[in-house]
Structure 1
Amino acid sequence: MTERQSGRLYGVGLGPGDPELVTVRAAGLIGKADVVAYHSARHGRSIARSIAEPYLRGDQIEEKLVYPLTVETTDHPGGYRGALDEFYEQAAARLAAHLDAGRDVVVLAEGDPLFYGSYQHMHKRLADRYPTEVVPGVTSVSAAAARLGKPLVEAEEVLTIIPGTLPEEELTARLAATDSAVVMKLGRTFPTVRRALERSGRLAEAQYVERATMPGERTAPLAEVDPDSVPYFSVAVLPSRIDRTVAEHADGEGRGEGEVVVVGTGPAGPLWLTPEARGVLAGATDLVGYTTYLDRVPVRAGQLRHGSDNKVEAERAEFALDLARRGRKVAVVSSGDPGVFAMATAVLEAACADPYRSVPVRVLPGMTAAHAAASRAGAPLGHDYAVVSLSDRLKPWEVVAQRLRAAAAADLVLALYNPGSQSRTTQVGLARDLLLEHRAPDTPVVMARDVGGPTERVRTVRLADLDPTQVDMRTILLIGSSQTQAVARDNGTEVVWTPRRYPPV
């Protein structure tokens, strides 16, 4: 007597709703299956079954997997998640009984089985025990884009799929950061999603698609949609920006009110770029900045780039403001934080004078070089600290020295920007000697170069051993107070930290 062979499990994607969008493979499996299973709410109706109905034989076993609840409230001892887990275990056991009896089981899934689909819960519980095949289906994302007739992404654009159930702050950040997006699971989340789109500055771009390819399909600009009319089977779409950006600068003039946003990109690459900054850089018609910093921003189709030398900040600021007066959306690119020895001051100074007083200007913060360097060393800025630029191009060295003495006398940790360059070679030595009048020779000094970049080097030396020849414009110096510690740990690393408690005076 031979042992009975188990049946096969199929997760079958049905596409977004139109039965004609069911794949040939999916239709064939539905027609041949011994058992057809599908999820439904307590009312018993199943959209999945209605899509698959043309392909059913009529004599198949149907397993209706009815959810025990439809909102996140329950008296189950395990709460909402516990109730669902129990339901999925019971549903999987029902399907396992058919598979053990040698019956092939098709589990119907709207869209794609492994894309926010209910089938995945059966898959995780059964696929390691039975032969399984997943048949992909057209997703609601693809259907929505097709119905809108707008590209989702082009070239190097990034598409983000977001569940509308995320908290509003998280939705806002992700919408601000991405090029294109589709927000799923609207329904009761629609007011939150709409606020997030508005807060991220993306509401005007957003499109609404309801029941794509199904009866009752509707598309509209999302801003015009009545929140009370939004069902679960709807999505919000932010299509590709490329055509819109190309159109906005096709004639050299903007469409609508222009603005200047001074964007902090952090000390190095994109890992430390904030979501808001990333979104503004992607949505700008024009990028303005020092060429070295502009090179850190990806090239985008339809976007104009205006690079210049690092010694023309005032001219760069006025150029950006002139573009904005013509209706352009201008991002002025600044490394680190734009308000720390960077472009925000130059832009605001120009914007407070004629003829730029009415031009909208915003400043977006960025990770500072001091904070990036401190994170690599440990926590040298854990107590009060001062930030000083050693450059004497815009202020006399006597002013620099006076501020160093005051900070040293106050026993503040010091973050020293712009310490040296090819044409400025004396400042680091002068600062070291001045500080040694107030600090012990073994005071820890963090020398951090190109933090976050490909040639990053961070090391700690004694103040007395600080060598000016090892310092350039890409280096920042963090000089400890009398309380700062440099401690070797058991794993061979050294950490530098300044206690938050200060000894009584």
Structure 2
Amino acid sequence: MGTGRLFGVGLGPGDPELMTVKAARLVQSADVVAYHSARHGRSIARAVAEPYLRAGQIEEALVYPVTTETTAHRDGYRGALDEFYAECAARLAAHLDAGRDVVVLCEGDPFFYGSYMHIHKRLSPRYTTEVVPGVTSVSGASAVLGRPLVERDEVLTVLPGTLPPDELARRLEGEGPAAILKLGRTFGAVREALAAAGRLDEAWYVERATTDRERVAPLSDVDPATVPYFSLAMLPSRVAAVPPPTVAPARSGRGELSVVGLGPAGREWTTPEAQAVLAEADDLVGYGPYLDRVPPNPRQTRHPSGNTEEGARAAYALDLAAAGSRVAVVSSGDPGVFAMASAVLEVAAQPRYAEVPVRVVPGLTAAQAVASRAGAPLGHDYCVLSLSDRLKSWDVIADRLTAAARTDLVIAIYNPASRTRTWQVEKARDLLLEHRAPDTPVVVGRDVGGPAEDVRVVRLADLDPSGVDMRCMLIVGSSTTRRGSGGAVFTPRRYP
């Protein structure tokens, strides 16, 4: 293998903005940029890529020796092209052997009737090669027409205009959508074939799609003398010709309510099911900072509220659903773990909401997120507790902590502290030390998945309350929890 890399880069149908990000990056960074051109020296491929070229790049113009299938070459047109591509490959190989990366530009897609493939066949066995796909001329023309290309179970036929007219007509028989490329001097034969197949009236002509020289017209109206090579005939989907069904009116009557878990942080922590439910909702209800994590959509109405207004929030959401709206109540983490699901279901148990369907869409919990960052501290039996005494007394919390410590459960502790609750962590640590060894690992996870993520592992005896706040959660190990040689915390599945 040579030391340079070869890239066949698709440029799309003509608009430089339809180049992919990857194509633009490779063109800009290449040592050598190669492109085909006619003998006049102008290159459509280079013109498309020009906004991304930089000063100092080596350019290799691959100038076709012929423009029609007539030539004085001893082996005819095909022989002339084979010799041309062999010479081009040798020129590019010299750069690759010298360690220079070479980008070969190709309009449309390199492997869709693309000239690059002739270079690829000759050089890819010898050099590291990558092909970057591009938007095809067929896709560009379909977009310009504003007509779907294929729908449902239709089959798209793509044909070169260089086929004999009778062969074209045979392949165009029926009702399926089709695209015919390589028009130019073949246009008359293509039109003849469309007429013979009885499909001329449904054919469209698209020239230089997506460029500033774009032209679209019924194919039957086009003068053959005006047709360039970069044009194509389109027979779009017949399904598209059928008037679309009438859009259903907005919902009325009974709506629905979903309580959705967002996970502990950004979109990547939210399940596809939760994202789908959020996308379908008419109204979003929740604690303001949690609503802020859902991408804005002007079609939806947001109803933020404070963090301590769970009952009122649930009733408000249920009233919206009862009026016919699709409502999503959002929760951080999982809505069933110290979150909105229980509050909503409690209010929904009232007779007046009996006809409102309520479902719970689960989310990744904070305990799972923190545990994953530390290793596998929840690998055996564990329990989940909240240190918040807003909805239960400290005596209940202390009894449950003591019971969990006595039974040697790993303990995941939510809501360990807040601005107004600053003493519970110290009390909890002291209670646990009555039943756990001072060396017991404690995972302190803060803002896991967020920009301020911090995960530490400390000894239970060294747990400092001043470093714990409402954005933290704690995982206190059992007697079998330990740290591996790489620092990961885990609780073995076997219990002595």
Rounded to whole Å, the distance in 2 between the matches of 1:465 and 1:397 is 23
C-alpha displacement of 1:410: 1.5
- For 2:301, the aligned partner's letter is L
Shift of 1:286: 1.5
Amino acid at match of 2:411: L
Q: Secondary structure at the match of 2:352?
A: coil
The answer on whether the counterparts of 1:210 and 1:219 sit within 8 Å (CA) in structure 2 is no
- 3-state SS of paired residue (1:262): strand
- 1:263, 1:332 within 8 Å by CA — same for their partners in 2? yes
Could you tell me which residue of structure 2 aligns to residue 100 of structure 1? Answer: 86
- Distance of aligned partners of 1:138 and 1:501 in 2 relative to their CA distance in 1, 3 Å threshold: same
CA contact (8 A) 2:177 2:235 kept: no
Measure how far apart 1:140 and its partner are.
3.1
Aligned 1:8-157 pairs, distance under 5 A: 99-100=85-86, 112-113=108-109, 117=112, 124-126=120-122, 137-140=136-139, 143=142, 147=146
Identify the residue that residue 494 of structure 2 maps to in structure 1.
501
Partner-residue secondary structure (3-state), 1:355: helix
Query: Which of 217, 231, 234 is 2:237 aligned to?
Result: 217
| Corresponding residue number in structure 2 for 1:73 | none
| Aligned counterpart for 2:476 among listed residues 476, 479, 482 | 479
Kindly state the Cα deviation for residue 101 of structure 1 after the two structures are TM-superposed.
Answer: 6.9
Q: Distance in 2 between matches of 1:485 and 1:271?
A: 30
Asked if residue 329 in structure 1 is aligned to residue 322 in structure 2, the reply is no
- Unaligned 5+ segments in structure 1 are 1-8, 16-27, 33-55, 64-93, 104-110, 150-181, 189-208, 226-243
Q: Deviations over 1:357-391 (max 9, x none)?
A: 22122221111100110111111111111111111
CA RMSD of aligned residues (A): 4.4
Q: CA deviation at 1:139?
A: 4.9
Given residue 414 of structure 1, which amino acid in structure 2 is its aligned partner? I
For residue 450 of structure 1, what is the aligned residue in structure 2? 447
**Is 1:307 equivalent to 2:300 in the alignment?**
no
Distance 1:264 1:316 in 2: 16
Contact 1:211–1:218 (8 Å) recurs in 2: no
Q: CA deviation at 1:473?
A: 1.1
CA contact (8 A) 1:380 1:478 kept: yes
1:327 Cα deviation from its structure 2 partner: 2.1
- Cα shift at 1:282: 2.3
Which residue of structure 1 aligns with residue 287 of structure 2? 290
1:277 and 2:270 aligned: no
Count of residue correspondences: 343
Percent identity, please: 53
Distance 1:217 1:370, change over 3 A: same
What CA distance in whole angstroms lies between the structure 2 residues aligned with 1:464 and 1:380? Answer: 18
3-state SS, counterpart of residue 500 of structure 1: coil
- How far is the alpha carbon of 1:442 from its aligned partner? 0.9
* 1:99 CA drift (Å): 1.8
CA distance in 2, matches of 1:316, 1:466: 36
Work out whether residues 13 and 140 of structure 2, in 8 Å CA contact, stay in contact via their aligned partners in 1.
Answer: no
Moved more, 373-382 or 461-470: 461-470
Q: What TM-score comes out, normalization by structure 2 length?
A: 0.59
- Cα deviation, 1:297-350, whole Å, max 9, x if unaligned, reads 111222211110011111111111221222222211110011111111112222
What is the identity, as a one-letter code, of the residue corresponding to 2:444?
Answer: M
Return the letter of the residue paired with 2:379: G
Distance in structure 2 (CA, Å) of the matches to 1:184 and 1:127:
38
Per-residue displacement from partner, 1:228-264 (whole Å, max 9, x unpaired)? xxxxxxxxxxxxxxxx9xx98xxxx745752212111
Tell me the TM-score normalised to structure 1 length. 0.58
For the 8 Å contact 2:253–2:323, the answer to whether it is kept is no
Report the counterpart of residue 404 of structure 1 in structure 2.
401
Contact 1:254/1:326 (8 A) holds in 2: no
Q: Is the 8 A contact 1:263 1:366 kept in 2?
A: yes
Pair 478,31 (structure 1): closer, same or farther in 2 beyond 3 Å? same
Relative distance call for 1:210 and 1:431 in structure 2 (3 A) is farther
Pick from 336, 341, 354 the counterpart of residue 339 of structure 1: 336
| Contact persistence 1:148–1:219 (CA under 8 A) | no
Match of 1:3 in 2: none
Task: Provide the rounded CA distance (Å) in 2 between the counterparts of 1:280 and 1:438.
Answer: 45
Change in CA separation of 1:335 and 1:102 when aligned onto 2, cut-off 3 Å? closer
Q: 1:414 pairs with 405, 411, 414, which one? A: 411
Deviation at 1:265, TM superposition (A): 0.8
Distance apart, 1:143 and its partner CA? 2.2
Give 1:374's match in structure 2, choosing from 368, 371, 374: 371
Deviates more, 1:94-103 or 1:375-384: 94-103
> What are the within-5 Å matches in structure 2 for residues 154-169 of structure 1?
none
Aligned-pair CA distance for 1:487 = 3.6
Q: In structure 2, do the counterparts of structure 1 residues 148 and 136 end up closer, same or farther at CA, with 3 Å as the change threshold?
A: closer
2:263 aligns with 266
- Correspondence for 1:362 among 359, 362, 366: 359
